[in-house]
């Protein structure tokens, strides 16, 4: 059956393999296929996306799954699709008769037009089966399979499910045949229907089909995606240019303004160094402009000394996203609009706020040890959904540890290692959850779903000098003087993969700095949620740790709008700050501090869909003070 929905919802809620409750009936279904969205000329809306760039970036995260060696997201095996509509089928096809209680499993042909087909009846008493007779429980396997519960047979009359308890430990099947009292013990399924699954019965769980554990979409979000980004992966000169432009942007050497050139030209004329105005302006620009090529050559030397080729690519990707927000030259479509509190204070941006209000905002910014608060409109986010898992949202217990070379490992070109056993288990003693990629049918090509939406956002940048002081205060570093803070952060702070917990012994700087930024991000998200009413699934973070920046925005697929983040920071910034202090509270504080490094579901955790690092590398202590990785530390807000 075809299904239309708000198109951004297909990236989260209506993906192949996911179940849902139909809006117009009590019927439940399973999404079986996604149809591509096309423009009026019939062109794919994904044609302007950089396939190689997107597939490479999501492969880094997919490689963490234990079955990655059996999968492929290469450009030869996978295609990018912008979803526009979907097909679904009735699921589960298990119905319990409202008259006699007999459970019937419909064939696909019987369920195809249900409930319009009045001929679908109970096999025992012939009562008509309705949508509200559909059973909601399914069998879910760690391998990714989802299927109807197993209904045994006895004497041909049918079986009724009896469950005297709240769970299914005491459930059993009773034969509905006349004068038959036979019973059969209940089990979710006799076998997993996935032919490649080697897991035993312990890998399968009985769950309502709508439970969150039945489907965890695996997504990645990219900023300012455009077609020419494919060249970033292979063109080291482009990578060097991005890093060089970032360093020049940070130092303020982005080129002289017209006023600076005019002032310098007047000086040259007064000193009789030139004969005319045109010559003066030309010489003024030459003297005020940094030698770009020399700077790029020096940047190349810096990168060669500090980073591997793989980490250079990852760094340039991150800095490209940062520059897309702050540097108009990286906004090719001239679509992003942003300004900072400093812009308001310097009258560089029109505002309805009174000067006293702007001045107060700037003082609060400084009090929080923030270098910059930037409000962003038309923020282009490309959300990419590349697969799903069931029962667990991440490859628990199988996270890779970082290297000590400029941050974290990048194993996108290597298969994820496993223990080599036929029945591996994770740290909880369960068979590990596996990644499942999307495809159109059993033999179809792999499909990756992507869509770009504009959002309103806020970017918060921590003051790097204060971060370094905080690291010194907590004995993470002992360097007395750092000549160039921006280069130091590029060389020493890593960016972990989606599921990676940074090893505090192997990379203490990245562990501390990233945890600080990440924890601060979650505290701000909690504050925004309290003030705006947005739920934990609605607000998304995008971390740029080498710049010590986080961008927070609202998911485009949430239908309600209670006021934008942009407006909240513009009108109620002091309230956001006041609410931030409340995020140090945890209902389970004693246990949270002792056993969970001051980060748990009650205080810092947010939805796995919206957290960039799967709730890893978090602690209230890094911002507010307290135990972190063992000893007590000084919080960043106390600096």
Query: Which DSSP state fits 312?
Result: H
* pLDDT tens column, 427-484: 666 789 999 999 876 567 899 999 998 888 999 999 999 999 999 999 999 988 898 9
Kindly report the backbone phi and psi dihedral angles of residue 133, in degrees, each rounded to the nearest multiple of 5, phi listed first.
Answer: -85, -5
* pLDDT tens column, 167-179: 788 899 999 988 8
Residues 621-638, mean pLDDT to the nearest whole number:
95
- What local confidence, expressed as pLDDT, does residue 409 receive? 39
pTM of structure: 0.86
pLDDT band of residue 405 (cuts 50, 70, 90) is very low
Q: Cα–Cα distance between 631 and 639 in angstroms, integer? A: 18
- How far is Cα of residue 156 from the mean position of the Cα atoms in its chain? 50
The alpha-carbon radius of gyration of the chain (Å, integer) is 29
**pLDDT, averaged across the chain:** 87
CA-angle at 402, arms to 50 and 142, nearest 5°: 75
Is the pLDDT at 43 greater than 90, yes or no?
Answer: no
- What local confidence, expressed as pLDDT, does residue 5 receive? 45
CA-angle at 332, arms to 326 and 335, nearest 5°: 70
H or E stretch covering 251: helix 236-251
- What local confidence, expressed as pLDDT, does residue 423 receive? 46
* Of the candidate ranges 247-256, 414-423, 469-478, 514-523, the one whose mean pLDDT is the lowest: 414-423
Q: Cα–Cα distance between 61 and 59 in angstroms, integer? A: 5
* pLDDT tens column, 81-125: 998 888 889 999 999 999 999 999 888 888 877 776 667 888 888
List of residues 6+ apart from 39 with CB closer than 8 A? 45
Residues 530-552, mean pLDDT to the nearest whole number:
90
* pLDDT tens column, 439-453: 876 567 899 999 998
- What local confidence, expressed as pLDDT, does residue 6 receive? 55
H or E stretch covering 593: helix 589-595
Dihedral over Cα of 312, 318, 322, 323: its sign: positive
Residues 313-327, mean pLDDT to the nearest whole number:
96
Domain parsing of the chain, residue ranges:
1-35+84-91, 258-289, 334-383+448-638
* pLDDT tens column, 480-500: 889 899 999 999 999 998 999
- What local confidence, expressed as pLDDT, does residue 297 receive? 94
CA-angle at 605, arms to 613 and 617, nearest 5°: 40
Q: Which region holds residue 187: left if phi is over 0, alpha if psi is between -120 and 50, else beta?
A: beta
């Amino acid at each position: 059956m075809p299904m239309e929905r708000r198109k951004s919802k297909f990236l989260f809620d209506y993906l192949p393999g996911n179940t849902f409750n139909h809006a117009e009936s009590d019927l439940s279904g399973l999404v079986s296929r996604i149809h591509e969205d096309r423009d009026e000329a019939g062109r794919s809306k994904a044609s302007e996306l950089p396939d190689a760039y997107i597939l490479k970036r999501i492969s880094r995260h997919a490689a963490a799954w234990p079955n990655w060696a059996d999968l492929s997201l290469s450009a030869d095996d996978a295609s990018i699709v912008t979803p526009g509509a979907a097909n679904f089928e009735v699921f589960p096809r298990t119905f319990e008769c409202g008259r006699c209680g007999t459970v019937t499993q419909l064939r696909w042909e019987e369920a195809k037009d249900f409930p319009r087909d009045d001929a679908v009846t109970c096999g025992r008493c012939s009562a008509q089966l309705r949508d509200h007779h559909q059973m909601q429980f399914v069998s879910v396997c760690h391998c990714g399979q989802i299927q109807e519960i197993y209904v045994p047979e006895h004497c041909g009359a049918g079986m009724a499910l009896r469950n005297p308890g709240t769970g299914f430990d005491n459930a059993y099947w009773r034969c509905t045949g006349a004068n038959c009292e036979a019973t059969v013990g209940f089990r979710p399924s006799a076998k997993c229907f996935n032919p490649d699954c080697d897991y035993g019965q312990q890998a399968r769980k009985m769950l309502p089909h709508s439970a969150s554990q039945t489907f965890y979409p695996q997504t990645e979000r990219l900023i300012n995606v455009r077609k020419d980004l494919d060249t970033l992966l292979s063109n080291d000169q482009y990578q060097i240019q991005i890093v060089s432009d970032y360093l020049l942007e940070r130092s303020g050497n982005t080129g002289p303004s017209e006023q600076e050139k005019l002032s310098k030209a007047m000086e040259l004329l007064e000193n009789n160094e030139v004969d005319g105005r045109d010559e003066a302006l030309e010489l003024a620009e030459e003297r005020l402009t940094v030698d770009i090529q020399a700077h790029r050559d020096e940047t190349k030397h810096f990168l060669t000394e500090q980073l591997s080729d793989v980490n250079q690519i990852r760094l340039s990707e991150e800095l490209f996203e940062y520059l897309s927000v702050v540097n108009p030259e990286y906004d090719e479509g001239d679509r992003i609009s942003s300004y900072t509190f400093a812009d308001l204070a310097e009258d560089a941006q029109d505002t309805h706020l009174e000067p006293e209000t702007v001045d107060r905002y700037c003082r609060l910014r400084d009090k929080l040890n923030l270098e910059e608060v930037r409000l962003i409109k038309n923020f282009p986010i490309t959300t990419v959904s590349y697969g799903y898992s069931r029962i667990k949202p991440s490859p628990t217990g199988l996270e890779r540890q970082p290297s000590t070379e400029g941050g974290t490992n990048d194993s996108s070109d290597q298969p994820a290692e496993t223990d080599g056993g036929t029945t591996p288990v994770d740290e909880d003693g369960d068979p590990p959850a596996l990644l499942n990629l999307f495809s159109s049918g059993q033999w179809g090509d792999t499909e990756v779903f992507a869509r770009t939406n504009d959002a309103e956002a806020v970017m918060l940048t921590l003051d790097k000098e204060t971060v370094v002081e905080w690291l010194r205060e907590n004995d993470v570093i002992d360097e007395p003087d750092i000549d160039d803070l921006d280069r130091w952060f590029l060389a020493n702070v890593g960016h972990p993969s989606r599921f990676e917990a940074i090893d505090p012994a192997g990379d203490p700087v990245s562990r501390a700095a990233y945890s600080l930024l990440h924890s601060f991000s979650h505290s701000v998200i909690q504050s925004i949620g309290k003030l705006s009413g947005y739920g934990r699934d609605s607000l998304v973070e995008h971390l740029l740790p080498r710049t010590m920046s986080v961008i927070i925005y609202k998911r485009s697929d949430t239908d309600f709008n209670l006021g934008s983040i942009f407006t909240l920071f513009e009108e109620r910034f002091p309230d956001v700050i006041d609410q931030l202090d409340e995020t140090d509270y945890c209902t389970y504080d004693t246990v949270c501090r002792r056993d969970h490094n001051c980060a748990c579901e009650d205080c810092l955790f947010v939805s796995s869909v919206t957290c960039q690092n799967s709730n890893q590398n978090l602690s209230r202590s890094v911002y507010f003070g307290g135990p972190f990785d063992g000893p007590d530390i000084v919080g960043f807000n106390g600096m």
